[in-house]
Amino acid sequence: MSTPSDTMMAVLERLAREDAGLGDPTLMPPQHARALAELTNTRWNAELPEMAETRTMIHAGMPARWVVPKNDKGTEAILHVHGGGWALCSVSTHEGAARRIAEACACPVLTFDYRLAPENPYPSGLADVLSAWRALDTGRRWSIGGDSAGANLSLAAMLALHDEGAPLPATALLFYGVYGADFDSPSYIRNAEGPGLTRAKMMRYWDWYAPETKRGTPTVAPLAASDAQLAAMPPLYLNAAELDPLLSDTEALVARLRALGRDDDYDLIPGVVHGFMQMGLALPEAADAFRRAGEVFQRITA
């Protein structure tokens, strides 16, 4: 049985103290869960990397943030899709992630607030991601990426663009994504009770986002994509957390890609839980993961 690393355990102990009694967001009214997510993520947005430019804007009709790192090379940019079970989080909760991605990848990052479930289930969020993609300035070469549900929406958007015959992103950064709804996978069973994300919470997020009748659709659950669809994707970077119910999702996706003869970069981060990259400077593994994603991104886009 795998256990948290020493640094991950220290963060988990801190969270147990700070969040005692807060409850399970998936058992709350969505508006309360979102408010809680905003508050609890505030702690990770301290000591952020200083940017050359930060701007709040409206993009494709949605509130958005544009962050430009001091090391911007002037050619690339990334559309970042935040995670949160398709139901929680925002531009604000992922400010730290956006800045760290920008600095690691040496290019600007655009984040935006798409519509959230359960009030706006599939395909609302995906439609907003596609609208954001289509409205991008063509002065740079664009990539896409996201964490958890944001990785799901990023890959789903690329599958939709492929089916339309539209141009695809240069690459995609997919962090501990949710790509299927097999709640009996090895990692769902092994990590059913967390720490952090649990099997039961993930099942409720899925119920908020898409009914079972739609979970065989590739733009809902990308593991349902055909070989031809997956083969057509641009170069991908994927990572996964060892102590995550969603680990098997990424392992299954990587196995599909390998079977197609692709060599997309994949890193399994030992001893960490789902969402670890949100934990910023408090967790060395998070800093290492951003750095690694930036190395791969710059190599692919060179």
- Residue 2's pLDDT is what? 86
Whether 1 has a pLDDT exceeding 80, the answer reads no
At residue 108, the 3 state secondary structure works out as coil
Rounded mean pLDDT, 252-269: 98
**Entry field: residues in the chain:** 302
d(CA 144, CA 236): 10
For the segment 99-132, what is each residue's pLDDT rounded down to a tens digit? 999 999 999 999 999 999 999 999 999 999 999 9
Rounded mean pLDDT, 262-289: 97
Structure confidence at residue 8 as a pLDDT band (50, 70, 90) = very high
37 with 22: CB under 8 angstroms?
A: no
> What phi and psi values does residue 188 have, to the nearest 5 degrees?
-65, -40
162: left (phi over 0), alpha (psi -120 to 50) or beta: alpha
d(CA 300, CA 288): 18
Q: What is the DSSP letter of 282?
A: G
> Radius of gyration (Cα) for the chain, nearest Å?
18
What is the pLDDT of the chain when averaged over all its residues? 98
Pairing of strands 76-81, 109-112: parallel
For the segment 178-207, what is each residue's pLDDT rounded down to a tens digit? 999 999 999 999 999 999 999 999 999 999
- Residue 266's pLDDT is what? 99
- Residue 25's pLDDT is what? 97
Rounded mean pLDDT, 233-252: 98
Kindly report the number of other CB atoms within 10 A of residue 201's CB atom: 18
Ranges of H-type helices in 107-261: 124-134, 149-164, 186-190, 199-209, 227-231, 247-259
